Structure 1
Amino acid sequence: MSNDRLIYLPLGGAGEIGMNCYVYGYGPRDRERLIVVDLGVAFPDMDTSPGVDLIFPDIQWLADRRDRIEAIFITHAHEDHVGALGHLWDRLRAPVYARQFTAMNAVRKMEEQGADPANVHVVGKWPETVTAGPFTVGFLPVSHSIPESSALVIDTPEGRVIHTGDFKIDHMPGVGEPFDRELFAQVSKDGVRALVCDSTNVFSPHEGRSESTVGPEIARLVAEQPGMVVATTFASNVARVRTLAQAGIASGRSVCLLGRAMRRMIETSVQAGVLSDFPSTISPEDAREVPRESLMLIVTGSQGERRAASAQLARGKYLGLTMAEGDTFLFSSKTIPGNERGVIRVMNQFSEMGVDVVDDDNGRYHVSGHANRPDLLAMHELTRPQMVVPMHGEHRHLREHVKLATANGRDGVLAPNGTCISLSGNKPEVVEYVETGRTYLDGSVRIGAMDGVVRDRIRMALNGHVVVTLIMDEDDTPLGDPWVELMGLPEKGVSGASLTEVMEADLGQFLQRADDKTLLDDDKLDTGLRRVARQVAVTEIGRKPEVTVVVSRLS
């Protein structure tokens, strides 16, 4: 009897939406040959990760087994699937495989971080395949909100696995390939051991709508507006950007794209051959000369990002262009949970200008790129898998997807990040747990989520900061009283006196009472001065700030 096993291990993207990273392995326990599916990022927020630029999955488990990694496969070019590739590739150093459009974006990610783009290899769609150790992998086209998205057909000695990636059932997506039911039925006819499946919209009860349904609604809205129209959507949603541009042209407007990410995505789509009929656009310089009622801007920043074009327009001006009363701003996008504050801030700023803001609360101007509950069930029926492993979703999504699978007679398993599943038996089985987490790109360096850097930053943001400085002379006697600098704290406390003066007075009294052991020991001075500063702050302002003590000794 063989001791080999087939395993599945999510390191990111299972128990959250974003930061996707999945591992498949085959071979003897702890000696499996491995493939990696996707290396994505998540985006920070000011509440939990202030100052952080990007969030990556913790790939230490993979890095420790680098010599066993056969290949990295990227399903599509969204940031939460490819955004970490350039940052993390040096720790894995395995060949990267993707379809043309995705590969072009992957190459750029590699070049931006100084990694050799020659490690990215272009693969055609199914039935073309790549052999990677014990795995044979093919890219099966699916419809999604970015061109050339693919499910992966992963053939193993234990049978076939289908990893859906992000998908929806859309037979008229506009740009990119339509969903092909017959193709999925064909690749599944000889049996599918496991379906590892997108779970994002498992709570949406209605069948998903096609991208083609939003075009007429957007065209009608744009044509009815008397002033300038500005619209935002995800830069990667090439089909939607084209729909918006076509609506602008149809209403007799000149169209201008604003935002580097949007222009770059359209250019890449044209170069990759997935977009051939994008309307003509004008430059921002030329747009400034066009009458407002004859202009449409398509801009980045659908999630309220502070540096994106939409937020800058909301603050006043971007590349010489401004919005005014009577103009219309359209959010042709869904607000990702966690981004509501930024989006609402932009909406209110436009409202104060007299700009009419149209969002997508009614679903008229946006459709999701993910499969709704009936479509997930249709995928189950098409592929008829022995096992269903939900991925790409928060914990509640994964759990609900397991319920959907088991209610329809299939073995489902809940596998959030770090849960290693054996797919070798008749049922999926949890065989071990792996420590997972997050790493942060903080400026130009990578830091661990548990390193304390972000924790201290949050504490300072919540409670303020006090710097206490003390100079000791050659005889180890205080050279005057310590002095205090406050950051992020009020000048006066409940006593009405200066917080700085009250704190310095109490610190001076502490030094007068300190014995020689304390005065000779920097650690004891640090502890004592810190305690006094915090006690004063609690009494005067009801806060316990972060305190830094600087003791300088003259020699």
Structure 2
Amino acid sequence: MSSKRLIYLPLGGAGEIGMNCYVYGYGAPDNERLIVVDIGVAFPDMDGTPGVDLILPDIAWLEERKTRIEAVFITHAHEDHVGAIGHLFERLGQPAVYARAFTSNIARGKLAEYGYSDKVVKTVSKWPETVTAGPFTVGFLPISHSIPESSSLVIDTPEGRVIHTGDFKIDHNPLVGEAFDPDLWAEVAAPGVKALICDSTNVFNTHEGRSESTLGPAIVELISAQRGMVVATTFASNVARVKTLAEAGEAAGRSICLMGRAMRRMIEASVDTGVLSSFPKVVSPEDAMAMPRDNVMLIVTGSQGERRAASAQLANGKYQGVVLKDGDLFLFSSKTIPGNEKGVIRIINQFSEMGVDVVDDSNGKYHVSGHANRPDIEYMQKLVKPQIVIPMHGEHRHLREMVKIAKGNRFQSILAPNGMMVNLGGNEPSVAGYVETGRTYLDGSAQVGALDGVVRDRIRMALNGHVTVTLILDDENEPLGEPWCEIMGLAQTGRSRAPLVEVLEADLDQFINRASEATLADDDKLEQQLKKIVRQTALDEIGKKPEVTVVISRLSA
């Protein structure tokens, strides 16, 4: 029996949708050589992570083992798969990064922001070209998704072949990028597959997935019926959809204008890497505004309600000189990701107040998902015929349902959420241990741990308000004047009808005047008592217990 093992460890993306980061290792226990698959981000919201810029996977376990990391492999260029590469590259020990041309273009841009050379990212051609990384041989197997050059990874190991699907759908005519090739997949699976690590995002959708090529006619029909300006939004990375929208607008006799930095960046990267051989002619916002409104179609960023994107700016009134008016049409050619509903609904209502008609994806005519539905997932499993199926890229309920499907199809399966290390060796998968996982917040330019208390304190201040108490004592512990308070985020007056600040200061002054010498001499005891009085008085006056900061200054002769 071998003393070495093959492990799989998700650090993000298994138990959530987004922030993908997966680790494979082979070697003696606790001394495996490692490869990392994807290093993505999740996006914050004002309810749970106020003020945070991005959410990154917690890579503390990897950082401690960075000398054992052979390479990083990026399956595709969506932010939840490549968005953290620049932020975390130093902590990973700056290993080689491998990706296909389009993804390499995006990854290089992210690393360049941190001063890294273009040479860090190695561009790899599609299967059968492979890369050797320690005990692993890895190839990029084309798969259809909603961004160019998406690839599954064929990972050959001493324990057998592993296929990591990445995000995928079964699309035989995706318009941009490679079509799904069942013959190639059957060929790759023919030698036998130890484990299939499989996208589970749409496992509850029982309808067969639709091709990107089915959307064009319906969008042309919609645009042709409009008499005002038409604006459409989708994911900037969905280059095929951007092209579909642009071609539909052109077919309806409109000039096309792209708005939003991310949108232009993705189209430029597609042209530079040969993903796009043609794209309708585009005009500048200035030229678009000089044209009759019924001759213009804008394609803009912000399909998820992002506050700084073009869609939100247009909803606020104006963006780059463009103002929407009564009779214009705004099309969401996208699905709202769970958690983003508030931002999208806010924009829809703002447009409604302007008289702009909004069309979303509720009827399914203007958007198709980039993820495999249940029939496609089952097709993938039966095509590959793996010994083991492990679900990833999904919430816990998605992972659990995928395990049921796999076992129903007589494949071994195990539910492995973030932090569960699985031993893929032997005759069946087993739990090899657990790793502490969580989230790292990019807060401005600083990375802070989810348990560091920064965001927790921010939420508590937002919920409860804040009071600062300042007290000055002399070297004999005698107060120099009364304590004074400053309040933030609290009502100015309470039940007594007197200003809250005055009530707080009066109660604090009473305490100071009767406090013992020992209390006045002990900063810790004094601070504790002052906080207690402020919170109790505020509760009596306004029904809130605020966060309290006490500043005690001692002046000597």
TM-score normalised by length of structure 1: 0.99
1:377-423 Cα distance to aligned partner (Å, 9 max, x none)? 00001100000000000000000000000011111100000000011
1:243-284 Cα distance to aligned partner (Å, 9 max, x none)? 111111111111110100000000000001000111000111
Contact 1:11 1:418 in 2 (8 A): yes
- Aligned-partner residue type, residue 548 of structure 1: T
Q: Tell me how far apart the structure 2 counterparts of residues 188 and 13 of structure 1 sit (CA, whole Å).
A: 25
Deviates more, 1:45-54 or 1:283-292: 283-292
Aligned runs of 1:404-423 on 2, under 5 Å?
A: 404-423=405-424
- Aligned-partner residue type, residue 42 of structure 1: A
Contact 1:168 1:208 in 2 (8 A): yes
Aligned runs of 1:20-59 on 2, under 5 Å?
A: 20-59=20-59
2:284 paired with 1:251: no
Contact 1:468 1:483 in 2 (8 A): yes
Correspondence for 1:426: 427
Q: Tell me how far apart the structure 1 counterparts of residues 355 and 46 of structure 2 sit (CA, whole Å).
A: 29
1:223-250 Cα distance to aligned partner (Å, 9 max, x none)? 1111000110000000000111111111
Correspondence for 2:8: 8
- Partner SS, residue 421 of structure 1: strand
Aligned runs of 1:249-328 on 2, under 5 Å?
A: 249-328=250-329
Q: Tell me how far apart the structure 1 counterparts of residues 213 and 496 of structure 2 sit (CA, whole Å).
A: 66
Correspondence for 1:532: 533
Q: Tell me how far apart the structure 1 counterparts of residues 321 and 143 of structure 2 sit (CA, whole Å).
A: 40
Q: Tell me how far apart the structure 2 counterparts of residues 54 and 77 of structure 1 sit (CA, whole Å).
A: 17
Q: Tell me how far apart the structure 2 counterparts of residues 144 and 481 of structure 1 sit (CA, whole Å).
A: 67
- Aligned-partner residue type, residue 256 of structure 1: C
- Aligned-partner residue type, residue 425 of structure 2: S
1:41-71 Cα distance to aligned partner (Å, 9 max, x none)? 0000111110000111011111111111111
Q: Tell me how far apart the structure 1 counterparts of residues 355 and 225 of structure 2 sit (CA, whole Å).
A: 17
Q: Tell me how far apart the structure 1 counterparts of residues 343 and 118 of structure 2 sit (CA, whole Å).
A: 35
How far apart are 1:167 and its partner, in Å? 0.3
1:76-96 Cα distance to aligned partner (Å, 9 max, x none)? 000000000011111112100
- Partner SS, residue 195 of structure 1: strand
Q: Tell me how far apart the structure 2 counterparts of residues 552 and 253 of structure 1 sit (CA, whole Å).
A: 69
How far apart are 1:470 and its partner, in Å? 1.2
Q: Tell me how far apart the structure 2 counterparts of residues 225 and 408 of structure 1 sit (CA, whole Å).
A: 49
- Partner SS, residue 361 of structure 1: helix
Correspondence for 1:345: 346
2:235 paired with 1:224: no
How far apart are 1:303 and its partner, in Å? 0.4
- Partner SS, residue 219 of structure 1: helix
Contact 1:90 1:115 in 2 (8 A): no
Unaligned runs of 5+ in 2: none
- Aligned-partner residue type, residue 81 of structure 2: H
How far apart are 1:74 and its partner, in Å? 0.2
Correspondence for 1:485: 486
Q: Tell me how far apart the structure 1 counterparts of residues 183 and 241 of structure 2 sit (CA, whole Å).
A: 26
Paired residue total: 555
- Aligned-partner residue type, residue 50 of structure 2: P
How far apart are 1:291 and its partner, in Å? 1.4
2:482 paired with 1:494: no
- Partner SS, residue 247 of structure 2: helix
Q: Tell me how far apart the structure 2 counterparts of residues 103 and 154 of structure 1 sit (CA, whole Å).
A: 19
Q: Tell me how far apart the structure 1 counterparts of residues 351 and 514 of structure 2 sit (CA, whole Å).
A: 60
- Partner SS, residue 390 of structure 2: strand
Correspondence for 1:119: 120
1:345-391 Cα distance to aligned partner (Å, 9 max, x none)? 00000000000011111111100000000000000011000000000
- Partner SS, residue 401 of structure 1: helix
Q: Tell me how far apart the structure 2 counterparts of residues 115 and 204 of structure 1 sit (CA, whole Å).
A: 42
Correspondence for 2:79: 79
Q: Any runs of at least 4 consecutive aligned residues in structure 1 with deviations exceeding 4 A, and if so which?
A: none
Aligned runs of 1:231-250 on 2, under 5 Å?
A: 231-250=232-251
Q: Tell me how far apart the structure 2 counterparts of residues 47 and 117 of structure 1 sit (CA, whole Å).
A: 38
- Aligned-partner residue type, residue 278 of structure 1: F
Correspondence for 2:459: 458
Contact 1:50 1:457 in 2 (8 A): yes
Contact 1:89 1:115 in 2 (8 A): no
- Aligned-partner residue type, residue 267 of structure 1: E
Q: Tell me how far apart the structure 2 counterparts of residues 54 and 194 of structure 1 sit (CA, whole Å).
A: 32
Q: Tell me how far apart the structure 2 counterparts of residues 225 and 507 of structure 1 sit (CA, whole Å).
A: 67
How far apart are 1:115 and its partner, in Å? 2.6
- Aligned-partner residue type, residue 147 of structure 2: I
Contact 1:25 1:32 in 2 (8 A): yes
Correspondence for 1:88: 88
- Aligned-partner residue type, residue 59 of structure 1: I
- Partner SS, residue 80 of structure 1: helix
How far apart are 1:473 and its partner, in Å? 2.7
Q: Tell me how far apart the structure 2 counterparts of residues 235 and 451 of structure 1 sit (CA, whole Å).
A: 34
Aligned runs of 1:200-215 on 2, under 5 Å?
A: 200-215=201-216
Aligned runs of 1:93-242 on 2, under 5 Å?
A: 93-242=94-243
Q: Tell me how far apart the structure 1 counterparts of residues 319 and 185 of structure 2 sit (CA, whole Å).
A: 46
How far apart are 1:476 and its partner, in Å? 2.1
Q: Tell me how far apart the structure 2 counterparts of residues 117 and 454 of structure 1 sit (CA, whole Å).
A: 35
1:311-341 Cα distance to aligned partner (Å, 9 max, x none)? 0000000011100100010000000000000
Contact 1:14 1:415 in 2 (8 A): yes
2:401 paired with 1:386: no
Q: Tell me how far apart the structure 2 counterparts of residues 117 and 419 of structure 1 sit (CA, whole Å).
A: 34
Q: Tell me how far apart the structure 2 counterparts of residues 518 and 349 of structure 1 sit (CA, whole Å).
A: 57
Correspondence for 1:374: 375
- Partner SS, residue 324 of structure 1: coil
- Aligned-partner residue type, residue 35 of structure 1: I
- Partner SS, residue 536 of structure 1: helix
1:198-223 Cα distance to aligned partner (Å, 9 max, x none)? 00000000110001111111111111
- Partner SS, residue 404 of structure 1: helix
Q: Tell me how far apart the structure 1 counterparts of residues 201 and 55 of structure 2 sit (CA, whole Å).
A: 20
- Aligned-partner residue type, residue 232 of structure 1: T
How far apart are 1:475 and its partner, in Å? 3.0
Q: Tell me how far apart the structure 1 counterparts of residues 538 and 417 of structure 2 sit (CA, whole Å).
A: 43
How far apart are 1:140 and its partner, in Å? 0.1
1:154-213 Cα distance to aligned partner (Å, 9 max, x none)? 001111000000000000101010011111100001110000000000000011000111
- Partner SS, residue 124 of structure 1: coil
Unaligned runs of 5+ in 1: none
1:434-459 Cα distance to aligned partner (Å, 9 max, x none)? 11111010001111110000000000
- Aligned-partner residue type, residue 297 of structure 2: M
How far apart are 1:481 and its partner, in Å? 1.1
How far apart are 1:425 and its partner, in Å? 1.2
- Aligned-partner residue type, residue 13 of structure 1: G
How far apart are 1:116 and its partner, in Å? 3.0
Correspondence for 1:509: 510
TM-score normalised by length of structure 2: 0.99
- Partner SS, residue 192 of structure 1: coil
- Aligned-partner residue type, residue 523 of structure 1: D
How far apart are 1:497 and its partner, in Å? 1.7
Deviates more, 1:285-294 or 1:2-11: 285-294
Q: Tell me how far apart the structure 1 counterparts of residues 183 and 249 of structure 2 sit (CA, whole Å).
A: 36
Deviates more, 1:469-478 or 1:187-196: 469-478
Q: Tell me how far apart the structure 2 counterparts of residues 325 and 12 of structure 1 sit (CA, whole Å).
A: 44
How far apart are 1:99 and its partner, in Å? 0.3
